[in-house]
Structures are given as C-alpha cells and as structure tokens.
Chain A
Amino acid sequence: MRGFIIKEFYHIFRDIRSMVVLFGMPVIQVLLFGFALSTEVKNAPIAIIDHSNDQVTRAITTKLLSSGFFILSDQVPGEGHIEEVFRHGKVKEVIVFESDFASKLEKDRQAGIQIIADASDPNTANLVVSYTSAIIGDYQQEYLKGMSLPVTVRTESQMMYNPALKSVFMFVPGVITILLMLITAMMTSISIARENELGTMEILLVSPMRPIQIIAGKVLPYVLLAFTNALIILLLSYFVLGMPVKGSLVLLLAESLLFIVMALSLGIFISTVSNSQQMAMMLSMFALMLPTILLSGFIFPIENMPVPLQIFSNIMPPRWFIIIVKSIMIKGLGFKYIWKETLIIAGMAVFFIALSIRKFKIRLE
C-alpha cells in the first residue's frame, strides 16, 4: 500500500502535464475569474441630465465626480437619447435629476434622482448604482445637518437590459467546486486508465493486490493533492480576491475533503467504464465539466431552469457543494444548516465507491 502511494506520487510529480493541471490550472482559473469579476470600479464614464441645474444638483454632481469612481462623459442631449448612448457603450450610467430639484427638496422635503445603468454588464451596473446611491446618501446626511426636518432624496434605479441581475454570482464557490471536481475526477480516471493502457494493470491484477487496495492506492495521493489544491484556491480567494470566510474554516475544509473523496470515487467509476486515457478524459470533460458548469447553479440559476433540468440538477454533486461553500463562506452558517447537503454528498461518495469496487475488473474481460 505504502509503496503504491509513493509510486503514484512519482507519477504525478514527474509528469509536467499533471503538475500543470493540478497546480497551474487552479491558480490561473481563480485569478482569471477574480479579475474578470474585479470588485473595483474606477473612472466609470457617466452622463448626467440635470433638469434643474441648481446649487443642490450641482453639489451632488461635484461630489459624484470628485469621488474618483466616475468621470463625466459626453453630455446627453435629453432623456430620449439615453438608450442611444448606452448602445454606443460610451457610458455605464446616466443620472437624471428632476426639475426644480432644490426647491422641491426645500418645500416637499423630497426630490427625485433617476439612475439608469447599462446592465448588459450586470456586475459593473450593480456596482456603479450602489456607489452612486451611497454618494447621494452621503450628501443627504450632510444636507440634513443644517435642517430641522428630515428630507429625502429618492433615488430610483433602473437596470436596463437585465433588470433581475440574476447572473451576478459569487464566482468563487463555483470555481472551487468545478476545479475540485474536474481535477480530482479527471486525474484519477486518467491515472487508472493509463495503467490499463500501458499494460501495467495486467501485472497489478496478477498480484495479491485486491481491488480495494488498488483503488485506495489510487485515491489517497489525490486526496492529499486535491486538498492542497483546495487550500491554494481558498488562500487565493481570500487574499487576492478578498473573498470572506464568515463561517468556520475547519468546517469548510472538512466539507471540501468530503467533496474531494466524492469526486475521486466518481473518477474511479469513470475509469472502470472507459478503456483508454482518451476516453477517460473525454468522459470526465463531457460528463462532468459541462453539467457541472451548466446545471450546478454556478452560472445559471437553478430556479430559472425548465423543471426537468431542475430535477436533473439534483443529481449533480457540485450543486450541493456550491450551496455548502456559499453557506459557510458568505452566510457564515454552521453545520446544522448544511447537514442535508453534506449527507447527499456523503451518500454519493459511498455510492460511487461501492459501484467502483463492484465494477472493478479483476480480470481482463
């Protein structure tokens, strides 16, 4: 057993491709996703339509433009041209002050600002809108100081093109899930298929090694490696992307370990049904990657799917793991909120291990 595990490590560490897939891919993926979803907005071009042009609207405009987040783009002739401006992609956001803003604020104690954002890039739209609202709110606070009665600036925001903003997700849980799933399942399935292909499985079979020993010898090194991987991804997300870990880190790592074991047993199952490295790779890619990305709720929300696909998504292990990761990292929930998901993944792990041992060929046919 020990020798088997050592041998497996030699295979991995001596193969540059394996090393790249194991350690290069997670880093690149996390960084790619991280920068694709940069949480910073700097110098976003905006347009302002000021129907009142009084001291209050000018003060708010100055405050917005001096924040460093926005720069004033071309003037928009009128509200009828907003769509046109967005189509040209020149501005990210248009702010419209209603007429007689200052006097309405004085008399009615409230006035309206309309914020229209280009939500074809939903992430940026969300950010610029919330920045704008915050700056206006800030101004409101200052304005209030000199007043006895409260005033309200009603900000009314509108997300054009994608009003629900459904595709804004926390990518990190999804990325962790997909990477762990793919790397572990693919690497194990390939490493077993390679033994079949090179003929070394023939010698392993004609030895006192039992199927469970061969499987365990294959799984254990990858558990260690995948766990290291999970750590790297978490560290990167935490330090580079500023992803919070609100819940228990120990719980998160324990759940990751469980998920890794599940993915590994799935990988072994794949290798028992494929007879070449090529086939194992294809199976892992198509049977795992696409459903994982498409059906796990990583990119497309499950509640938006047709009912058959929603039902189908229940058998996608990543679906449950994404819930777990989000619950722990973002919501900071404890085990009692995710025991159901944990149980489902544990059940899947047991199922695939049992199936792999059963399907493991003790002979060549």
Chain B
Amino acid sequence: MPANISINASNITKRYGDKTALDDISFDVAKGELFGFIGPDGAGKTTLFRLITSLLIPDKGSLTVEGLDTVKDYIKLRKILGYMPGRFSLYQDLTVEENLKFFAGIFKTTPEANYELVKDIYSQIEPFKNRKAGKLSGGMKQKLALSCALIHKPEVLVLDEPTTGVDAVSRIEFWEMLGRLRRSGITIVVSTPYMDEASRCDRVALIQNGKIMSIDTPDSIQNNYSRGLWAVKSDDTYRLLTDLRQFKSTRTAFPFGEHIHLSLKDELIKPAEIVSYLESTGHSNIHISKIEPTIEDCFMEMMGAESNMSATSQK
C-alpha cells in the first residue's frame, strides 16, 4: 500500500440480518485529504463511518486506517481517531468547558496542550463556556463537538453528518473550519446529505443503497455532465414541475428553489418550444435560460429520479 494512503477499504460488506447496509465497497483516502461521502439517508454512510472508527466489524473485506486494521489493531487506532457521531453526543448537562476538559482528559491531554488546533473554532463558543451544552444552538453544538473531537490532535478526523440540523450560516462556517483543518494536515472524512457541500471536498464519493456510485473530484464530476441544462421559471412553480414532467421531450426535471432544472431527451429542441408548451398549459411570466450544471445536478443525474436527497443550495 502506498505510504500516502490514510484509509484503505477493500471490498467491505456489512449486513444487518438480511439487509445489506454496505455492499462490496472499496476506496482509498489519501493522507491530508478532505474526503466527502454524499448520499441520502439510509445509504450506509453511518455504517461505513462506524466501520472506519472500529465500532463495527465488516462481514467481508478489510479496512485499515493509517495502516491499522480496524478489527485487530482497534486499541491503537482509537488513539489516533477523532470522531464526531451523527447525533449530538456530548454531555448536555456539562458546560462547554467541562465537556472539552473531559474529552481532553480521556485522551490523556488537556485543553491547553492542543489549544492552537481548536482555537479557531473554540474561540467562537468560548464566550459561552459556562453554558450547559444542552442549551447551545445547533451551530454552536457542532462547533463544540468538533472541538471535542479535535482536542487530542487526531491524525484522522471522522465526521458523520456534522452539518445536519445546522443553520445555513453555521454550515458555511463549519466547512470553512474544515478547510483550515485540512491545511493543517489532518485527514478528514466527512459525510453529508447536502449535495452543495460536496464542492468543498477534495474528492467526493457518491453513496447510495450501500454502494459507491462514483468517486471523483467535484470539478471533474461537474465537467462530466455532458447534457444541456435549462433553468425554467414561471408564476406557478408547483404546477410548473408537474407540467414539465408531462412534457413529451422532458428527460428529467428537478426543483431547485424557484427554478426547475430541465434536461431534454432531444438536445435539439428550442427553448421556444418549451415556452409555447407551457403557455398552452396556462403558465405566465415564463423565463427559460441555459445554465451550467451545479454539482447537485450531477448527483441528481447519477442517482436518477427516485432520490430523496436534499437540494439546498438554491434556497
């Protein structure tokens, strides 16, 4: 295995009873990489992260983190991991400061020893250091959880849906923090159901129904989108979607905020034809324009129409 590999998964399968949560998954995460797993709820992201953190054992295949096997070397592995579970998992009845102290303590360090690493994040919640963790806002909770996961200076940081349930501003801040951490050399694996967050990762794996659909950089995912894409808008957005989906030349139509992103079976169809179709069904104020695909368009394309993923960036 090359020296610059941090996490190596080869052919891992995980079943719960007769339900297959992960089906023959393989991937590598390079050292210092910010690696994202994007996928809908129930895709297997949490299972995968629990396998990486040695909380679960794969039924088949092998998984190593920094050369340590998650089954055999779990004791050593747990010393170098920073883990933030999907659910807010700090002690709600302890204050911000007490939580940080406690988590530093169980890794046999102190908040002061690695303060530099968390300073950026922790300084934002420090004014509330005497507040109980249970009384923090969603965004502050995540910052505290991240501080606690980082306080022992882990080599690999595993974050399971850190931005779920966090307001839009805090989400952006959170990703900016991850970017800064990445520059400090920590390998970061992060999962999210929000597709727009993918563009902030070095590489992204799209995971669905326990399978990895693709692994690529955000740029090349976007570049690989070969079709023309139209953004359509009218006065009645709800009806617009159903009407567009009934249009004979429509290939896919997904709502993105006020617009509908439309791709066509026949690339030669002119916008005027779409407009006249919509006018015939009673729409007014119709705007149509050719657009560049966003990363979300690419994911929607890859996953097909039956997706429950959240398209959020245009909100």
**Is there contact, CB below 8 Å, between B91 and A205?**
no
Within 8 A of A (CB), among B85-133: 85, 87-94, 98, 101-108
Residues from chain B with a CB closer than 8 A to the CB of A14 are 93
B79 at the interface (CB under 8 A from A): yes
Which single member of A7, A199, A205 contacts B102 (CB below 8 Å)? Answer: A7
Choice from A4, A11, A198, A202 contacting B106 with Cβ under 8 Å: A4
B interface residues, tally (CB under 8 Å): 32
Chain A residues 157 to 214 lying within 8 A of chain B, measured CB to CB, are: 198-200, 202-209
Compute how far the CA of A207 lies from the CA of B149 in the bound complex, rounded to whole angstroms: 10
Contact A202–B85 (Cβ < 8 Å): yes
Please name all residues of chain B whose beta carbon is closer than 8 Å to the beta carbon of A142 when the two chains form the complex.
Answer: none
Interface residue? A77 (CB, 8 A): no
Contacts of B53 in A (CB 8 A): 206
- Could you say which of B89, B98, B105 contacts A202, with CB atoms under 8 Å apart? B89
- Kindly state whether residue A362 has any CB partner on chain B within 8 Å: yes
- Please tell me if B191 contacts chain A, counting CB pairs below 8 Å: no
Measured between beta carbons, the chain B residues less than 8 angstroms from A363 are: 54-57, 74
- In whole angstroms, what is the CA distance A362 to B79 when docked? 14
Quick check: is A15 within 8 A (CB to CB) of the other chain? yes
Q: Which residues of A are found within 8 Å of B101, using beta-carbon distances?
A: 3
Chain B residue with Cβ nearest A210: B75
The answer to whether A364 and B50 touch across the interface, beta carbons within 8 angstroms, is: yes
Complex contact B91–A208 (CB within 8 A): no
List the A side residues contacting B85 at CB < 8 Å: 199, 202-203
Q: Is the CB of A10 within 8 A of B94?
A: yes
Q: Is the CB of B78 within 8 A of A15?
A: no
* A2 close to chain B: CB less than 8 A: yes
Contact A365 B105, CB 8 Å, known A11-B91, A203-B83: no
Chain A's closest residue to B74 (CB) is A362
A208 CA / B74 CA spacing, docked (Å): 9
Judge whether B54 and A206 touch: CB under 8 Å: yes
Residue in B55, B56, B79, B98 whose Cβ sees the most chain A Cβ within 10 Å: B55
Q: Which 3 A-B pairs have the closest CB atoms?
A: A3-B105, A199-B89, A206-B83
Q: Which of B67-84 contact A (CB under 8 A)?
A: 74-75, 78-79, 81, 83
The distance in angstroms between the C-alpha atoms of A362 and B107, with both chains bound, is 17
A205–B56 CA distance with the chains assembled, in angstroms: 11
Q: Nearest residue in B to A361 (C-beta to C-beta)?
A: B55
Given contacts A208-B79, A362-B74, contact A4 B105 (CB under 8 A): yes
| 11 A–B contacts from the bound complex (CB under 8 Å) | A3-B102, A3-B106, A202-B55, A202-B83, A203-B103, A206-B54, A207-B78, A207-B106, A209-B106, A363-B54, A364-B55
**Residues from chain B with Cβ under 8 Å of A2 in the complex:** 105
A325 to chain B, nearest CB (A): 35
Q: When the two chains form their complex, are residues A208 and B107 in contact, meaning their CB atoms are under 8 A apart?
A: yes
- Chain A residues with CB under 8 Å of B105's CB are 2-4
CB-based contact B55/A206 at 8 Å:
yes
Chain B residues, CB < 8 A from A199: 85, 87-89
Minimum CB–CB distance from A173 to chain B (whole Å) comes to 36
Interfacial chain B residues near A207, Cβ < 8 Å: 78, 103, 106-107
Q: Could you tell me the distance in whole angstroms from the C-beta of A206 to the nearest C-beta in chain B?
A: 4
Contact partners of A205 in chain B: CB under 8 A: 55, 78
Query: Contact: A203 with B56, CB < 8 Å?
Result: no
CA distance in complex: A199, B106 (Å)? 16
* Contact partner, A203, options B79, B89, B92, B93, Cβ 8 Å: B89
Apart from A202-B85, A208-B78, list 5 A-B contacts with CB within 8 A. Answer: A10-B91, A202-B83, A203-B148, A208-B108, A365-B57
Measured between beta carbons, the chain A residues less than 8 angstroms from B87 are: 199
Chain B residue at minimal CB-CB distance from A209? B106
Interface members, chain A 124-147 (any B CB < 8 Å): none
Chain A residues near B50 (CB-CB < 8 A)? 364
Q: How far is the CA of A362 from the CA of B56 in the complex (A)?
A: 10
Give a binary string over A1-33; 1 marks a CB under 8 Å from any B CB, 0 the rest. 011101100110011000000000000000000
- Nearest-Cβ distance from residue B189 to partner chain A, whole angstroms: 13
Measured CB to CB, the closest approach of chain B to A20, in angstroms, equals: 16
- Residues of chain B within 8 A (CB-CB) of A198 are 89, 91-92
**A7 pairs with B56, CB closer than 8 A:** no
Q: Are B93 and A11 in contact (CB under 8 A)?
A: yes
Within 8 A of B (CB), among A199-250: 199-200, 202-209
Which A residue sits closest to B145, measured CB to CB?
A: A203
Query: In the complex, what residue of chain A is closest to B104 when comparing beta carbons?
Result: A3
**Residue ID in chain B nearest A3 by CB atoms:** B105
Q: Which residues of A contact B78 (CB under 8 A)?
A: 205-208
> In the complex, which of the residues B74, B81, B89, B104 contacts A200, with contact meaning CB atoms closer than 8 Å?
B89
Cβ < 8 Å to A, chain B residues 133-152: 148-149
Report which of B54, B75, B93, B98 forms a contact with A15, defined as CB distance below 8 A: B93
- Chain A's closest residue to B91 (CB) is A200
Given contacts A206-B81, A363-B57, A200 and B107 within 8 Å (CB-CB):
no
B contact residues around A204 at 8 Å (CB) = 106
Report Cα–Cα, A3/B57, bound state, in Å. Answer: 30
Chain B residues with Cβ below 8 Å from A364 are: 50, 55-56
Whole-angstrom distance between the alpha carbons of A11 and B91 in the complex?
Answer: 9
A11 to B94, CA, bound (A): 8
Q: Separation in Å of the A180 CB from the closest CB of chain B?
A: 25
Q: Kindly state the separation between the CA atoms of A365 and B21 in the bound complex, as whole angstroms.
A: 15
- Point out the residue from A7, A209, A362 that lies within 8 Å of B94, measured CB to CB: A7
Which B residues touch A10, using CB under 8 A? 91, 93-94, 98
User: Which residues from A are CB-within-8-Å of B104?
Assistant: 3
Closest to A204 in B: B106
Instruction: List B contacts of A6 (CB < 8 A).
Output: 102
B90 contact from A4, A200, A206, Cβ within 8 A: A200
